[in-house]
Homo-oligomer: A and B are copies of this chain.
Amino acid sequence: VSTSRPPHTRHRARGGAALSKAEAELWQAWKHASDSVISRVEHDIAEATGLSGADYGVLSQLVELGRGKLRQQELADSLSWHKSRLSHHLSRMEARALVRRTPAKTNVVLVAITASGKQALRSARPGHARSVRAHLTRKVLPAERKHCLALLIRLDNE
């Protein structure tokens, strides 16, 4: 009915040969796991505090990387976000008074967490920690932790 079912793709993985069963399995597992861990944590935070995962990431980078303030571009880099994504997002966060933008020297914009941003972050932290533990760190056994970290870093690079 459809395209040819790949009959024997097992022995040689040439340029565009179909994924082997093992490869497809790994890919599916990766898609599902990466999707579900992140979205569970984000769901937990949002439910408890009204902050999205993105909001939480912005606020915590501001306090942990800067001491409450960062240049916008530096913030974008630390989050691996496109600058326009950050720009749009900060507009929304600014409207909610979580951050404030102030033009600085030349071409640069400083982003600062506000008092209510700090408050929101403070009250979100415990739940965030609980959620990360429940959905990620508790499920990675101590024995595999180091190895797992190395793999994740390898996957992120290049």
The interface residues of chain B lying within 8 Å CB-to-CB of A135 are: 155
Chain A residues within 8 Å of chain B by Cβ, number: 57
Contact with B along A1-33 (1 / 0, CB 8 A): 111000000000101111100110111011111
Determine whether the beta carbon of B34 is less than 8 Å from that of A3: no
Question: Beyond A29-B149, A34-B38, A68-B2, is A155–B130 a contact (Cβ under 8 Å)?
Answer: no
In the bound complex, CA of A23 to CA of B25 (Å): 27
List residues of A whose CB falls within 8 A of some B CB. 1-3, 13, 15-19, 22-23, 25-27, 29-38, 63-65, 67-68, 80, 113, 118, 121-122, 125-127, 129-130, 132-133, 135-137, 139-140, 144-145, 147-149, 151-156
